């Protein structure tokens, strides 16, 4: 009977149970056997929990062993929002051997990310994320502690701080001018806006990291690899729900991720070897210091930036940070830029107001520079509204309490996987007027910068200790890119096409139908489109 239950369960999961390693029969047999054993363990131990603890948050009834896994919807952010309407702003789901907690209210998010921030500062590391982060050696997935603090300090001080970003403005400007020149050459022809923004951001990032850029077809290949890496991190994985089965990699997700990461790893090895050889030959790039040069200096010294010998900075950290920047610094910002462009094209009045502001502050006989950005309040509001309606990480990165605690009167056990449904909070009609309407003017009256994570009605970059370290970088890249696209060109859809705004869920939220649009020059002098 138990075997029949385990077997029949797979027929309800066709959208994610897709073994990729060729051992379909063996994998199902092993999983079925393990489920039976886990069920027996569950029966024996379920009564051992103390009744004096506060109850778990309410949630939907699940099946023995597998819990709510068979009922998950691929559009997880929408599924969680629907459950919240039925069970309240904090709910629990049994995900195999894992307990999932979904938070969908600002007050509870504040209680966790501010009042109990240290307790929830750890991550529940996904198997695919572990492969992509060199065993959890990066900023996003490393445990909270001295190593994580060291990594964050390296990034904020050397790459993501305002002084560092000011120092590399020429790189950002150069790559954006190249993109504008390319678009000018495609005037009258359809352009994949998201793809071009990704390639632009990738070249900015690689220029900052190691002084090189990616050209032509290599850029499209990079985008596909990055999309596959983030896609695997967002795919439900048996190894995450039943940690005892992780060694078998029944869906082949770790194997796929390892292959994708290996492509970056070979590139990193080649770049690092070349840089070390230059140093040995006495040509260590004294004229220009990029991020890799600084990382290799720290690795050579073998200690953390604070001089803490107990937390050495290793070559694994070098590669993990490079991976963070290449993957995390491109896909999210390019996707948000694509959503913003699509919303503006869908709402001509918003585009008209943006044009009016840009023409007044920049003029049609000039190009957008970094110095103009802080004088574009309407475009800033467009950015904030795009992040409200289409947050780059709709469920953020899962948090994990380091000890059992109480939130909202409910028990949150140690090791639970805690999701923050910012997508749902940002669309809550009790918080936002006309929440499904793209209306940048709702942010024009803000008396403070709402996206930094202090207002729990709106926190697209997370909050607390683990909020995104690259907020300043993302803001600058987004604003300069969007302002340049809107200022330099008029945009329209190909004949007969209609704007489609559907979202594709993943750890990074994307536009389901890519934005393909036709540019027309706006500037007064064709020379302004030169590199």
Residue-wise pLDDT for 101-158, tens only, equals 999 999 999 999 999 999 999 999 999 999 999 999 999 999 999 999 999 988 888 7
Mean pLDDT to the nearest integer, 459-469: 94
74 contact partners, CB below 8 Å, separation of at least 6: 15, 16, 505
Instruction: Determine contact, residues 395/83, Cβ cutoff 8 Å.
Output: no
In percent, the amount of the chain with pLDDT more than 70 equals 85
**Kindly report the CA angle at 80 between 78 and 81, in degrees rounded to 5?**
60
- Across the range 315-331, mean pLDDT stands at 92
Q: What percentage of the chain reaches a pLDDT higher than 90?
A: 72
63: exposed, middle or buried (Cβ count in 10 Å: 0-12, 13-18, 19+) = middle
Q: How far apart are the C-alpha atoms of 378 and 10, rounded to whole Å?
A: 50
**Domain spanning 146-529: CATH superfamily:** Cytochrome P450 (1.10.630.10)
pLDDT at 11: 46
Give the per-residue pLDDT at 29. 59
pLDDT value for 4: 45
Q: Reduced to 3 states, what is the DSSP secondary structure of residue 444? A: coil
Alpha helices in 281-330 (DSSP H): 291-301, 315-323
pLDDT band at 53 (very low <50, low <70, confident <90, very high): confident
Q: What is the pLDDT of residue 450?
A: 59
> Of 30-34, 165-169, 227-231, 351-355, where does the model show the most confidence?
351-355
Q: How confident is the model at residue 164 (pLDDT cuts 50, 70, 90)?
A: confident
Report which DSSP code applies to 48.
G
Rounded-to-10 torsion of CA 67, 72, 77, 83 = -60
Kindly report whether the global pTM for this prediction surpasses the value 0.85.
yes
Instruction: Quote the pLDDT of residue 10.
Output: 42
Q: Which of 382, 373, 377, 362 is nearest to 523 (CA)?
A: 362
pLDDT at residue 279 in the model: 72
- Asked which of 10-14, 89-93, 397-401, 415-419 is least confident by mean pLDDT, the reply is 10-14
φ and ψ at residue 157, rounded to 5 degrees? -75, -40
Which H or E run includes 471?
Answer: helix 471-488
Residue-range domain boundaries for the chain: 146-529
Supply the pLDDT for residue 309.
Answer: 56
pLDDT at residue number 386: 97
């Amino acid at each position: 009977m138990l075997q029949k239950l385990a077997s029949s369960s797979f027929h309800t999961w066709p959208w994610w149970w897709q073994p990729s390693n060729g051992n379909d029969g063996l994998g199902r047999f092993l999983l079925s056997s393990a489920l039976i054993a886990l069920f027996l363990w569950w029966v024996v131990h379920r009564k051992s929990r103390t009744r004096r603890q506060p109850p778990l948050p309410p949630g939907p009834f699940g099946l023995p062993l597998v819990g709510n896994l068979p009922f998950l919807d691929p559009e997880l952010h929408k599924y969680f929002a629907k459950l919240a309407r039925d069970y309240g702003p904090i709910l629990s789901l049994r995900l195999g051997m894992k307990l999932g907690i979904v938070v969908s209210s600002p007050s509870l998010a504040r209680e966790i990310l501010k009042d109990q921030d240290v307790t929830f500062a750890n991550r529940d590391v996904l198997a695919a994320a572990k492969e992509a982060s060199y065993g959890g050696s990066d900023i996003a997935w490393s445990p909270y502690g001295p190593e994580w603090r060291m990594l964050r300090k390296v990034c904020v001080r050397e790459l993501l701080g305002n002084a560092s970003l000011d120092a590399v403005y020429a790189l950002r400007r150069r790559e954006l001018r190249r993109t504008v020149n390319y678009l000018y050459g495609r005037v009258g022809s359809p352009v994949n806006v998201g793809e071009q923004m990704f390639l632009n951001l990738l070249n900015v990032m690689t220029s900052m990291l190691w002084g090189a850029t990616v050209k032509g077809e290599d850029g499209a290949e990079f985008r596909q690899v990055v999309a596959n890496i983030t896609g695997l991190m967002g795919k439900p994985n048996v190894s995450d729900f039943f940690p005892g089965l992780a060694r078998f990699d029944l869906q082949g997700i770790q194997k796929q991720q390892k292959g994708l990461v290996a492509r970056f790893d070979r590139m990193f090895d080649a770049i690092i070897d070349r840089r070390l050889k230059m140093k040995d030959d006495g040509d260590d790039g004294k004229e220009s210091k990029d991020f890799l040069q600084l990382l290799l200096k720290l690795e050579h010294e073998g200690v953390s930036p604070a001089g803490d010998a107990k937390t050495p900075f290793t070559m694994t950290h070098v590669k993990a940070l490079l991976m963070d920047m290449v993957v995390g610094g491109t896909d999210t910002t390019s996707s948000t830029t694509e959503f913003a462009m699509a919303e503006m094209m869908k709402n001509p009045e918003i585009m008209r107001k943006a044009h009016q502001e840009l023409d007044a502050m920049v003029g049609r006989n000039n190009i957008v520079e970094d110095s103009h950005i802080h004088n574009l309040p309407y475009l800033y509001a467009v950015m904030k509204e795009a992040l409200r309606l289409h947050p780059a990480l709709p469920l953020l990165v899962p948090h994990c309490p380091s000890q059992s605690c109480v939130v909202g009167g409910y028990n949150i056990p140690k090791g639970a996987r805690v999701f923050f449904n910012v997508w749902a909070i940002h669309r809550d009609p009790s918080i936002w007027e006309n929440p499904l309407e793209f209306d940048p003017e709702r942010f024009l009256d803000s008396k403070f910068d709402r996206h930094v994570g202090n207002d729990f009605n709106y926190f697209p970059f997370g909050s607390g200790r683990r909020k995104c370290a690259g907020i300043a970088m993302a803001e600058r890249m987004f604003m300069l890119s969007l302002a340049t696209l809107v200022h330099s060109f008029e945009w329209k859809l190909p004949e007969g096409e209609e704007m489609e705004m559907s979202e594709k869920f993943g750890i990074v939220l994307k536009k389901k139908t890519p934005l393909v649009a036709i540019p027309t020059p706006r500037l007064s002098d064709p020379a302004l489109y030169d590199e």
